[in-house]
Chain A
C-alpha cells in the first residue's frame, strides 16, 4: 500500500517538473532563436511482487506473482530543433537562419553555437551578440566590420560596399539532438564536429522567432494539470485506504 502512495507522489513531482519546463518555455516565447525544451517521462524502477498469503502464512517458498512499477520519473530533457518563424525587423545586423544551421560564438567558457541572430557591431567594430560575446568567422577568427554599407549574404558572406570582407562561420550538425547540449542563454555546446552549412541560408534584416507555440503550450498545460490532479486524488485515496486499514483492522467488537 505504501508503494502505491509513493507511486502517486512520484507522478505529482514529475508533473510539477513538467510545469517548470513549460513555464520556462513560455517565458522564452519572445526570445529569438529559442528552441523549446521537451520534457519526457519514464517508468521508474520495477519490483517483483510476492503472493501476500505466502508471506502472511510464513511459507518456505514465496511465490512471485509479477512485477510492479514504482511510479514515474522525469526522463532526459530534449530540445526541439524545429524551425521557428521568420520575423522581418529591417535591422542590418539581425540575422535569421532558415534550415538547420547555427552561428558560432566565442564565450569565456568556450565555443558555443546559437540560432539567435541578434548581432551588434560594438564600439571597436567587432561583431558581437547582445551579451557581448564575439561572433566567429571562418577558422574561428573574430569578425571586424569596417565602415561602409554592410550586406550579409545567404551563406554568411559579409560584403562591405559590395566587396567581400569576411565570412561568418555558419555550420550544421549531422544530428543536433545528440551532438548539442543546452547551455546558458540560448547557446548550445557540442561534443561533435560541425560541418559547413549546406542546406541552410541566412536572411539579413530578420530574426527567427522561438519555436514555442502558444496553442500547444495551453493544451500541454491542461494535460499537466489534469495528470497532477489525478495523481493527487490517488494520494488521497491511498491515504484514506491506509487510514481505514489502521482504524478498522484489529478493532474488536
Chain B
C-alpha cells in the first residue's frame, strides 16, 4: 500500500476545509431561521478512495431540504403560505423566472402582486382599481376585496413543482432556479395530485429546526477538532522522522 505521511497530512487538511464548508452551510441555515419560506440546505460528503488509495472525503453535492416548514397565522390576507409541494413563480429583474416559497405579498403602486423581495408574482388575472385587498383560496383562486365590501374572483395562481426539488439552485433573495438535476418546473393547480394548497393569512416559516442545526454545529466543531489533532500528530511524526539522527 502506498503510504506517505505527507499524504496523511493532506487527508486531514482536505477534511478541515470540507468541515469549514459544512460550517458555512450551517451558518447560512441559521442566519435564515426566521426567513419566511426559506429552504435549508445540507452538504453531502462522501468517502474518497482512488484505486484503493485512501483519500479522505469529498463533497458530492449540496441538497436542498424539502420538508415542510411550520405554518403560523398572521391574518394578513396577502400572506400566502404553501402547505405541501410547490413554489410560487416570480419574475426576476433579469426577466427569468425564479421560484420561491416566500408568500409575503404586497400590492405595489401599480396594484401588482410583489413578494417581499419586490419580485412580481406570475399568475393569471388582474387586480381591479377598486380592490382594497387581495386574498387567495386553497385551490389558488385569487379573490379581491372591493371598496363596496363585496368580494370577486379575479384570477388563478398556480404552483410550480419539480421532479427533484432538492436539486434547485439558490439564486439569493429566497429564490430558487431549476437545474438540470431538478428538472423543469411544472405548473399545477393547488390541491390536485402532488400539488400543495395555498393558505391565506399565514406564513410558512423556514424549514430549519434550530435544535438539529445546533447539534450539527457541535458535531462539525468536534470533528474539526479531532481532525486538527490528527493533523498535528502527523506533523509530530514527520518531525520525528526528520530528527531520527541525533546530532
CB contacts (< 8 Å) of A22 on chain B: these are 230
- Known pairs A16-B8, A16-B237, A19-B234; A185 contacts B49 (CB<8 A): yes
**Cβ contact within 8 Å between A31 and B57:** yes
Verify if A228 is at the interface (C-beta below 8 Å from B).
yes
**Cβ contact within 8 Å between B181 and A123:** yes
**Cβ contact within 8 Å between A123 and B246:** no
- Known pairs A24-B56, A123-B164; A30 contacts B194 (CB<8 A): no
Distance, CA A185 to CA B46, complexed state (A): 6
**Cβ contact within 8 Å between A225 and B233:** yes
Task: Sample 19 A-B pairs with CB under 8 A, ordered by A number.
Answer: A16-B3, A19-B230, A20-B7, A23-B54, A26-B230, A27-B15, A27-B57, A27-B227, A31-B47, A34-B47, A93-B166, A120-B63, A120-B164, A123-B167, A130-B60, A148-B194, A217-B230, A221-B229, A228-B240
Residues on A close to B: CB < 8 A? 12-13, 15-17, 19-24, 26-31, 34, 37, 74, 90-93, 116, 118, 120-125, 130-131, 147-148, 182-186, 214, 217-218, 221, 224-225, 228-229, 232, 235-236, 239-240
Verify if B171 is at the interface (C-beta below 8 Å from A).
no
The interface bits of chain B over 62-84 (1 if a CB of A lies within 8 angstroms of the residue's CB, else 0) are 01011100000000000000000
Interface residues of B in 1-33 (CB under 8 A from A): 1, 3, 5, 7-8, 11-12, 14-15, 18, 22
Q: Among B14, B60, B237, point to the contact of A27 (Cβ < 8 A).
A: B14
Distance, CA A122 to CA B208, complexed state (A): 23
**Cβ contact within 8 Å between B244 and A147:** no
Among B86-94, B118-126, B130-138, B217-225, which stretch is in contact with chain A? B217-225
Number of A-B contacts (CB under 8 A): 152
Distance, CA A21 to CA B63, complexed state (A): 29
**Cβ contact within 8 Å between B229 and A124:** no
In the A-B complex, the 5 residue pairs with the closest CB atoms: A123-B183, A27-B15, A27-B56, A24-B54, A147-B194
Q: How far is the CB of A183 from chain B (nearest CB, A)?
A: 7
Verify if B210 is at the interface (C-beta below 8 Å from A).
no
- Known pairs A12-B241, A19-B5, A123-B164; A214 contacts B246 (CB<8 A): no
Distance, CA A113 to CA B224, complexed state (A): 29
- Known pairs A74-B1, A123-B167, A186-B47; A23 contacts B11 (CB<8 A): yes
Count, chain B residues at interface, CB 8 A: 56
**CB nearest to A236 among chain B residues:** B246
Q: How far is the CB of A6 from chain B (nearest CB, A)?
A: 13
**Cβ contact within 8 Å between A31 and B11:** no
**Cβ contact within 8 Å between B45 and A184:** no
Interface residues of B in 190-245 (CB under 8 A from A): 193-194, 219-220, 222-223, 226-227, 229-230, 233-234, 236-237, 240-241, 244-245
Verify if B180 is at the interface (C-beta below 8 Å from A).
yes
**Cβ contact within 8 Å between A30 and B223:** yes
Q: How far is the CB of A219 from chain B (nearest CB, A)?
A: 12
**Cβ contact within 8 Å between B8 and A19:** yes
The interface bits of chain B over 87-126 (1 if a CB of A lies within 8 angstroms of the residue's CB, else 0) are 0000000000000000000000000000000000000000
Q: Among A17, A29, A130, point to the contact of B63 (Cβ < 8 A).
A: A130
Q: Among A17, A26, A91, point to the contact of B15 (Cβ < 8 A).
A: A26
CB contacts (< 8 Å) of B150 on chain A: these are none
Distance, CA A92 to CA B67, complexed state (A): 8
Distance, CA A118 to CA B60, complexed state (A): 11
**CB nearest to A132 among chain B residues:** B181
**Cβ contact within 8 Å between B3 and A13:** yes
**Cβ contact within 8 Å between B12 and A26:** yes
User: Beyond A123-B181, A214-B222: 17 further Cβ-contacts under 8 Å?
Assistant: A15-B237, A16-B5, A20-B7, A20-B11, A23-B15, A23-B56, A24-B55, A24-B56, A30-B45, A123-B183, A148-B194, A184-B49, A218-B229, A225-B236, A232-B241, A232-B244, A236-B244
Distance, CA A208 to CA B122, complexed state (A): 42
CB contacts (< 8 Å) of B226 on chain A: these are 26, 29, 214, 217-218
Verify if B154 is at the interface (C-beta below 8 Å from A).
no
Q: How far is the CB of B185 from chain A (nearest CB, A)?
A: 11
Distance, CA A186 to CA B219, complexed state (A): 20
CB contacts (< 8 Å) of B233 on chain A: these are 19, 221, 224-225
CB contacts (< 8 Å) of A218 on chain B: these are 226, 229
**Cβ contact within 8 Å between A122 and B57:** no
